[in-house]
Amino acid sequence: MMFSMSMLSMSALDQDAYRHRRVMITGGLGFIGSNLARQLLELGAEVLLVDSLIPEYGGNLFNLEGVESRVRVNVADVRDEYSMRYLVAGQDYLFNLAGQTSHLDSMRDPFTDLDINCRSQLSILEVCRKINPGIRIVFASTRQIYGVPDYLPVDERHLLHPTDVNGINKMAGERYHIVYNNVYGLRSCALRLTNTYGPRMRIKDARQTFLGWWIFQILEGRPIEVFGNGTQLRDFNYVDDVVTALLLAGICDDMYGHVFNLGSEEFISLRDLAELLVEVNGRGEFHQVPFPPERKVIDIGDYYSDYRKIREQLGWVPTVPLREGLRRTLEYFQRHIDHYR
Amino acid sequence: MMFSMSMLSMSALDQDAYRHRRVMITGGLGFIGSNLARQLLELGAEVLLVDSLIPEYGGNLFNLEGVESRVRVNVADVRDEYSMRYLVAGQDYLFNLAGQTSHLDSMRDPFTDLDINCRSQLSILEVCRKINPGIRIVFASTRQIYGVPDYLPVDERHLLHPTDVNGINKMAGERYHIVYNNVYGLRSCALRLTNTYGPRMRIKDARQTFLGWWIFQILEGRPIEVFGNGTQLRDFNYVDDVVTALLLAGICDDMYGHVFNLGSEEFISLRDLAELLVEVNGRGEFHQVPFPPERKVIDIGDYYSDYRKIREQLGWVPTVPLREGLRRTLEYFQRHIDHYR
């Protein structure tokens, strides 16, 4: 299968851990949610996808292409407590991936970001504790909550001082999960994702990540715009590796109440990334443009993660090199771009 | 005047800094807000007090006794953006003290806590940036956002890992102020208050601090209940010292974007505090009771602050010793307890 996890990652995961288990994914029609759903189907899970399909977010029904009949889809907003009470009942696992991811949108409309990234999280945690306290929860947090790094690579002991409203609200959303774990014994942990890319990502704008937008540009034959001098460093994870990390976190009972960085040893400057993307694509071009002021003021500068904690505790390592991941991603979108415009 | 600031604290403050300046205080009818208002009147400011008078919070009209005619009072909820637009216009300073402070209430009703401590803060910051971007803002944050200390004394470099929903939301509220400072150039800073006590505190329950409740018990002739073994350490600031810190922070232009711990060298175990309170009061008793489970699970253990940063940067030091502060507080409530039941 084209996008299955590599053998190396898979080796750390008990192949029967999710068989016949009931698994709910919020944001399940989105980029990571749909890739996770596909892997869970491979592992024999019963998968329920919950997604609001809000147009600015990542949900896309095409992400289920080929597996539509094997999953249950419920369109609902996580903020809707009554729907959630019904949906959460009887689930063994919750992968809580629903969220607003755009930094710029969070500055333009901080109240919606608050609703999605804070109120919704409280809502779903309250429902879990009341209706299904035995559920196991993995929350998708983000390296954005560190803000401008005080040191590199950034480990989990780094201070949290996010640079924008989205980062603050995601920080609160993550902390709710840990507090509900500690106070109510609800088993909950969080992964702090860095830049994730791969098939089914949102590419029609930069709301999920600038890399999606770059991929869209290059496939449309337009030049990539690199902001500023392009020397900022970033690390990237291919989505299959992130899916493996989520699956490993879900079944490791000792790790509830913990947070884990994801990351990669392959960090790269944005300029070099643009060059690599053009090279892998076989054509295209990029040029450098001045940093838009509204982005500059919330930019985090250089960033890459120290992910030793998850490597040591859960045996996770990223396995798909950037060049190979980009190749797979471009190939996917070359075939399916009409569904992602 | 009985409750004026000490000469030592005052010496660091330019006596003309607030003269004829327009100053708005949210939570202005509350404990710290009303004490701040009184000091601002002494300094010649034009004071506008905004308070929602929600019964569970700290607002109490009696807190203005004797100065009612010298301040402007507007009863409004900070969540009400239209009222805020009108009120914020033309103000030189905003002391943003409105908040929900009860840890237990935040666990019982996390959504209201979110509304008050997050949505309201975003609302008022949005109004400031749109209507009055030249305003200077001081936000009352709390040591609660540190959670269980990793080390003592706790300085501003300590990780934020609050133990309850209230702590998480206050953390977000503080961070919004810093992000709006950094992104929009709105001048905003935050003080992380530790246990504050003094005249006009809420004593009829433990929603502001357990010490208020203790004071109420002892004045009513009932025994004080000390949870657990009473060895947990805490530090305390008398309210006049906190008022001085707020006033100093407001006028120090270099310090916007910063956060500062308050604190005291006089940290004390809860058991010793109970003993001291009985001694200063001249009668009363305390006994130790098992820690209520819902409190134990969010308790932070030992805590005291490192407040060197504000001492070095703003010249602030606490000046009222605990024994003297307790004496003044008991004297105030002996006279006025009927207004605080």
CB of A194 closer than 8 Å to CB of A263: yes
Mean pLDDT calculated for residue range A155-167: 95
Instruction: For chain B, say whether A49 makes contact (Cβ under 8 Å).
Output: no
| pLDDT of B122 higher than 90 | yes
Lowest mean pLDDT among A127-131, A248-252, B189-193, B298-302: B298-302
Could you tell me which chain B residue has the CA closest to the CA of A258?
B161
Distance in Å, alpha carbon of A278 to nearest chain B alpha carbon = 33
Single-letter residue type at A96: N
Residue B188 backbone class (left: φ over 0; alpha: ψ -120 to 50; beta: rest): beta
Q: What is the DSSP-derived secondary structure letter of residue A255?
A: G
Mean pLDDT calculated for residue range B280-292: 94
Distance of CA B20 to the CA centre of its chain: 25
Tell whether A271 is covered by a domain: no
CB of B314 closer than 8 Å to CB of B244: no
Where does A116-164 have alpha helices with state H? 120-131
Task: For residue B8, name the pLDDT band (cuts at 50, 70, 90).
Answer: very low
Task: For residue A3, name the pLDDT band (cuts at 50, 70, 90).
Answer: very low
Q: For position A155, what pLDDT does the model report?
A: 98
Task: For residue A11, name the pLDDT band (cuts at 50, 70, 90).
Answer: low
Tell whether B3 is covered by a domain: no
Q: What is the pLDDT of residues B60-83, one digit of tens each?
A: 999 999 999 999 999 998 888 889
Q: What is the pLDDT of residues B177-204, one digit of tens each?
A: 999 999 999 999 999 999 999 999 999 8
Q: For position A207, what pLDDT does the model report?
A: 81
Lowest mean pLDDT among B5-14, B99-108, B289-298: B5-14
CB of B207 closer than 8 Å to CB of B213: no
For residues B324 and B333, give the distance between their C-alpha atoms in angstroms, rounded to a whole number: 14
Instruction: For chain B, say whether A230 makes contact (Cβ under 8 Å).
Output: no
A72-86, A227-241, B8-22 — most confident range: A227-241
Tell whether B2 is covered by a domain: no
Q: In sequence order, what are the residues at sequence separation of 6 or more whose Cβ sits closer than 8 angstroms to the Cβ of residue B331?
A: none
Tell whether B9 is covered by a domain: no
Task: For residue B5, name the pLDDT band (cuts at 50, 70, 90).
Answer: very low
Q: For position A230, what pLDDT does the model report?
A: 92
Tell whether A300 is covered by a domain: no
For residues A142 and A140, give the distance between their C-alpha atoms in angstroms, rounded to a whole number: 7
Distance in Å, alpha carbon of A250 to nearest chain B alpha carbon = 22
Tell whether B320 is covered by a domain: yes
Element (H, E) at A46: strand A46-51
Mutate to test the interface with B, among A104, A175, A258 (most CBs of B within 10 A): A175
Single-letter residue type at A144: Q
| pLDDT of A138 higher than 60 | yes
CATH number at residue B224: 3.40.50.720
For residues A177 and A20, give the distance between their C-alpha atoms in angstroms, rounded to a whole number: 25
Encoded tokens for A13: 């995961």
Selected residue with higher pLDDT from A299 and A33: A33
Mean pLDDT calculated for residue range A323-336: 98
Residues of chain A positioned with their CB less than 8 A from the CB of B182: 163, 297
Encoded tokens for A93: 């696992």
Residues of chain B positioned with their CB less than 8 A from the CB of A106: none
Q: Which ipTM score applies to this complex?
A: 0.91
Instruction: For chain A, say whether B164 makes contact (Cβ under 8 Å).
Output: yes
Q: For position B9, what pLDDT does the model report?
A: 56
Distance of CA B51 to the CA centre of its chain: 14
Task: For residue A117, name the pLDDT band (cuts at 50, 70, 90).
Answer: very high
Cα separations in angstroms, A59 against A21, A26, A77, A336, B250: 24, 10, 12, 15, 45
Task: For residue A8, name the pLDDT band (cuts at 50, 70, 90).
Answer: very low
| pLDDT of B38 higher than 60 | yes
Element (H, E) at B128: helix B120-131
Residues of chain B positioned with their CB less than 8 A from the CB of A119: 111, 114
Test B111 with A118 for CB contact under 8 angstroms: no
- Tally of CB atoms within 10 A around A155: 15
Nearest to A148 by CA among A232, A236, A263: A232
CB of B144 closer than 8 Å to CB of B162: yes
Task: For residue A100, name the pLDDT band (cuts at 50, 70, 90).
Answer: confident
CB pairs A-B closer than 8 Å = 76
Tell whether B13 is covered by a domain: no
Test A179 with B165 for CB contact under 8 angstroms: yes
- The range of the structural domain enclosing residue B142 comes to 18-339
Could you tell me which chain B residue has the CA closest to the CA of A173?
B168
Test A164 with B171 for CB contact under 8 angstroms: no
Cα separations in angstroms, A150 against A155, A300, A339: 11, 10, 40
Q: In terms of C-beta density within 10 A (0-12 exposed, 13-18 middle, 19 or more buried), how is residue A185 classed?
A: middle
Cα separations in angstroms, B86 against B25, B47, B97: 14, 15, 18
Average pLDDT, chain A: 93
Neighbour order of strands in the sheet with B22-26: B72-75, B46-51, B22-26, B93-96, B136-142, B187-193, B259-261
Tell whether B124 is covered by a domain: yes
For residues A200 and A67, give the distance between their C-alpha atoms in angstroms, rounded to a whole number: 14
How many structural domains does chain B have?
Answer: 1
Could you tell me which chain B residue has the CA closest to the CA of A119?
B111
Test B297 with A171 for CB contact under 8 angstroms: no
SS (H, E, C) A301-314: CCCCECCHHHHHHH
Distance in Å, alpha carbon of B163 to nearest chain A alpha carbon = 6
Residues of chain A positioned with their CB less than 8 A from the CB of B171: 171-172, 175
Encoded tokens for A198: 């791969």
| pLDDT of B10 higher than 70 | no
